[in-house]
A and B are shown apart, each in its own frame.
Chain A
Amino acid sequence: MREGSGFEPPPAPRVRRGWRVVFCKEIVENARDRRALSSALLYGPLLGPVLFAAMMAFILGQQREDAEKQLELPVAGAEHAPNLVRFLETQGIVVVTAPADPEAAVCDQQQDVILVIPPDFGERWSRGEPAVVELLQDQSRRRARIPVDRVTAQLERYAAQIGLLRLQLRGIAPQLASPLIVADRDLSTPQSRAGLMMAMLPYFLVLSAFVGGMYLAIDTTAGERERQSLEPLLITPQPRAQIMAGKLLATAVYAAASLLIGVLAFAIAIRFVPTAQLGFELSLSPAAVALICAVILPVALLASSAQTVVASFSKSFREAQTYLQFLILVPAVPSIIMAASPMRAEPWTIATPLFSQSVLIYTIARGEPVTPGEVLLSVATTLLLAVALGWIAVRLYRREQVVFGG
């Protein structure tokens, strides 16, 4: 088998090449795996946008429906205030008889809102004292807010009208009772209203990076150990940093592919959201899409190194999968905070990976400008964290225990 000369060990592998060998092999090997490929090119990128478009279409459809629907208002004790009831009916509200136990009906979500008129209403009314009516509602229910607001507005109108009449009867100018008028002027632009709904968008995009790279992150670490090819790999003359760099970059390429397809799918999916009827626009210009790509791309590397570190601790493929399913929830935190109380672009949010993507994409989606400095800071800090996690992964692979698992 050996031809000719003595056994000279091959020259020291050119150190710079090791990562490329590992990288190419992982790319090719996983391209032959239907699970790795479909999670990077199909489920990963499409899961987020489809979920998002469906959610948004549902919310928008529901709001429109509620605002236009004829409002049915169950009233308990209608006989105590016939004038009030008649007023409500002239305002397009259909008054029906309330159920026997109005409080239970609201608690059980059978009714959104019920008006309760107590028996002493007429007596207090005729004495000129403030008469009390109760509006039973559950403030934690978003859907109930629209009918509650409508009923409240009508009740306040009725109260104001009667109040004016009473003052006029006593010969007092009604203006004296209104020292202050608050005029609401809605300054939100159509895009900014849409942007509020888009606060969750960054998470759906980040999600596609995690789903797209997940299979490789597991396969190249816990998977390699489980199929018993880790020991042969580690006893090649390649330094561990080279091996890990190749694996990480291959994972990042799959995550990035998933991410880019995800952004494009989103830009397309958003056209099918019925926003026109609501009077605001929801579209992303090609420049905005390109900017979103630039902001979000470093997340591919961050997701890959975070997942690789976690998967490196796992003994088996299944164990790693379990951990990574929890890890995927972490990037939701900034988006949930953004949806609850939108934050402005401040230095600390721009310098915090995942927060910065949330803030910047939210800003871009609102049609507001972001500065190159902000984008650079976000990219730099995200890459820095990714490299730090990658270095931890290398450290994990330098430990002896890595062969045995854990």
Chain B
Amino acid sequence: MIEVRDLHRRFGEVVAVDGVSFAAADGRITGLLGPNGAGKTTTLRMLYALLKPDRGRVLVDGVDAVAEPEAARRRLGVLPDSRGLYKRLTARENVEYFGRLNGLDEAQLRARTDALIQALDMRAIEHRRADGFSQGQRVKTAIARALVHDPRNVVLDEPTNGLDVMATRAMRAFLRRLRDEGRCILFSSHIMQEVAALCDRVVVIAHGRVVAAGTPDEIRDRTGEANLEEAFVKLIGSDEGLLA
């Protein structure tokens, strides 16, 4: 369960996030939809305590991410905007490194890494060095390392960026599986199709504010547009930066 209450953040004169509130429930996929530059990445970075909000609160399973950033991070698995791997380590070593940093003991580490390598279909690259991985292989490894400590809450910043169609489909299936295990999934995207196809709940962000929240059906009803795409454009005010 992730709760965000009235987050504000500015960089110099630029107001990046201007009063964002939403909640992402366990067993649900929540999509953060907005055009590029709407404040999605900044919101997520405050959520996993990389940036401090100027104002507002973030609660991860009730733990205050501002007051106790390290405790909050233990409850979060994060696929951040930057997802670089260590090229001279194998896929497995990359995942294990983050398991150790999360305090897993060797037995837990082996069990969790094995389970993720199987679930993400990474056997072929398990013992290969990350140098020369395809985009899909890189994202898989980055997701495995984000989930190695078995977090209840999973945050992904534009997880399908750069993936081809097959990899995107596999990713969606994987996210549904995580949801069905009872986890809280929060991901950001600027791609409407993806949000429509995957989300139980949508939070639409524009200009650093939440302009709408609800199920895709509720959003269609509220805007009076039968077409979800038209509904989004109406909410955001323009179709700039939004990919259909």
Structural contact, B75 and A9, CB atoms closer than 8 A: yes
Task: Say yes or no for A18: interface residue by CB 8 A criterion.
Answer: yes
Task: Say yes or no for B74: interface residue by CB 8 A criterion.
Answer: yes
The interface bits of chain B over 82-113 (1 if a CB of A lies within 8 angstroms of the residue's CB, else 0) are 11111111000000011011111000100000
* Residues of chain B lying within 8 A (CB to CB) of residue A9: 74-75, 149, 151-152
Contact A228/B151 with A1-B115, A1-B177, A13-B101 known, Cβ cut-off 8 Å = no
Task: Say yes or no for B48: interface residue by CB 8 A criterion.
Answer: yes
* Residues of chain B lying within 8 A (CB to CB) of residue A239: 70
Task: Say yes or no for B181: interface residue by CB 8 A criterion.
Answer: yes
Structural contact, B103 and A232, CB atoms closer than 8 A: no
Structural contact, A238 and B149, CB atoms closer than 8 A: no
The interface bits of chain A over 118-133 (1 if a CB of B lies within 8 angstroms of the residue's CB, else 0) are 0000000000000000
Out of A1, A13, A18, A229, name the residue touching B82 (CB < 8 Å). Answer: A229
Structural contact, B102 and A236, CB atoms closer than 8 A: yes
Structural contact, A235 and B149, CB atoms closer than 8 A: no
* Residues of chain A lying within 8 A (CB to CB) of residue B73: 235-237
Task: Say yes or no for A403: interface residue by CB 8 A criterion.
Answer: yes
**Stretch from B16-24, B49-57, B196-204 at the A interface:** B49-57
Task: Say yes or no for B183: interface residue by CB 8 A criterion.
Answer: yes
Inter-chain CA distance A29–B51, complex, in Å, is 29
* Residues of chain B lying within 8 A (CB to CB) of residue A235: 48-50, 73, 76, 78, 80
Task: Say yes or no for A171: interface residue by CB 8 A criterion.
Answer: no
Task: Say yes or no for B150: interface residue by CB 8 A criterion.
Answer: yes
Structural contact, B150 and A18, CB atoms closer than 8 A: no
Task: Say yes or no for A142: interface residue by CB 8 A criterion.
Answer: no
* Residues of chain A lying within 8 A (CB to CB) of residue B139: none
Q: Give min CB distance, B28 to chain A, whole Å.
A: 15
* Residues of chain B lying within 8 A (CB to CB) of residue A108: none
Task: Say yes or no for B213: interface residue by CB 8 A criterion.
Answer: no
Inter-chain CA distance A345–B207, complex, in Å, is 66
Structural contact, B101 and A21, CB atoms closer than 8 A: yes
Task: Say yes or no for B67: interface residue by CB 8 A criterion.
Answer: no
Please give me the residue from chain B that is nearest to A404 by CB atom: B11
Q: Give min CB distance, A88 to chain B, whole Å.
A: 71
Q: Give min CB distance, A42 to chain B, whole Å.
A: 19
* Residues of chain A lying within 8 A (CB to CB) of residue B151: 7, 9
* Residues of chain A lying within 8 A (CB to CB) of residue B50: 231, 234-235, 400, 403
Task: Say yes or no for B38: interface residue by CB 8 A criterion.
Answer: no
Out of A18, A28, A231, name the residue touching B80 (CB < 8 Å). Answer: A231
Inter-chain CA distance A22–B100, complex, in Å, is 9
Q: What count of chain A residues pass the 8 Å CB interface test?
A: 36
Out of A11, A30, A32, A231, name the residue touching B103 (CB < 8 Å). Answer: A11
Q: Give min CB distance, B85 to chain A, whole Å.
A: 7
* Residues of chain B lying within 8 A (CB to CB) of residue A30: 88
* Residues of chain A lying within 8 A (CB to CB) of residue B152: 6-7, 9
Inter-chain CA distance A13–B78, complex, in Å, is 17
Structural contact, B71 and A228, CB atoms closer than 8 A: no
Inter-chain CA distance A230–B81, complex, in Å, is 11
Structural contact, B80 and A13, CB atoms closer than 8 A: no
Structural contact, B103 and A13, CB atoms closer than 8 A: yes
* Residues of chain A lying within 8 A (CB to CB) of residue B81: 231
Inter-chain CA distance A43–B183, complex, in Å, is 52
Inter-chain CA distance A265–B75, complex, in Å, is 52
* Residues of chain B lying within 8 A (CB to CB) of residue A230: 82, 84
Inter-chain CA distance A7–B71, complex, in Å, is 14
Inter-chain CA distance A232–B76, complex, in Å, is 12
Please give me the residue from chain B that is nearest to A403 by CB atom: B50
Structural contact, B89 and A29, CB atoms closer than 8 A: yes
Structural contact, B103 and A10, CB atoms closer than 8 A: yes
Contact A237/B70 with A10-B108, A400-B52 known, Cβ cut-off 8 Å = yes
Task: Say yes or no for A276: interface residue by CB 8 A criterion.
Answer: no
* Residues of chain B lying within 8 A (CB to CB) of residue A227: 84-87
Task: Say yes or no for A3: interface residue by CB 8 A criterion.
Answer: yes
Task: Say yes or no for B116: interface residue by CB 8 A criterion.
Answer: yes
Contact A237/B51 with A9-B151, A29-B89, A228-B82 known, Cβ cut-off 8 Å = no
* Residues of chain A lying within 8 A (CB to CB) of residue B102: 10, 13, 236-237
Structural contact, A14 and B103, CB atoms closer than 8 A: yes
Task: Say yes or no for B190: interface residue by CB 8 A criterion.
Answer: no
Out of B52, B88, B146, name the residue touching A33 (CB < 8 Å). Answer: B88
The interface bits of chain A over 216-251 (1 if a CB of B lies within 8 angstroms of the residue's CB, else 0) are 000000000001111111111111000000000000
Inter-chain CA distance A373–B97, complex, in Å, is 43
Q: Give min CB distance, A343 to chain B, whole Å.
A: 45
Task: Say yes or no for B243: interface residue by CB 8 A criterion.
Answer: no
| Chain B residues proximal to chain A, CB less than 8 Å | 48-52, 70-71, 73-76, 78, 80-89, 97-98, 100-104, 108, 115-116, 118-119, 142, 145-146, 149-152, 177-178, 181-183
Ranked nearest first, the 6 interchain pairs of A and B with the lowest CB-CB distance are A13-B103, A228-B84, A7-B152, A228-B82, A229-B84, A236-B101
**Apart from A234-B50, A236-B102, what are 8 other A-B pairs with CB-CB below 8 Å?**
A12-B74, A13-B103, A25-B86, A228-B84, A229-B82, A232-B84, A232-B145, A236-B73
Return 29 A-B CB contacts under 8 Å, by A number: A1-B116, A1-B118, A1-B177, A1-B181, A2-B115, A2-B181, A6-B152, A7-B182, A7-B183, A9-B74, A9-B149, A13-B101, A14-B103, A21-B100, A22-B101, A25-B86, A29-B89, A30-B88, A32-B88, A227-B85, A229-B84, A229-B86, A231-B81, A232-B142, A235-B78, A236-B101, A237-B71, A237-B102, A238-B101
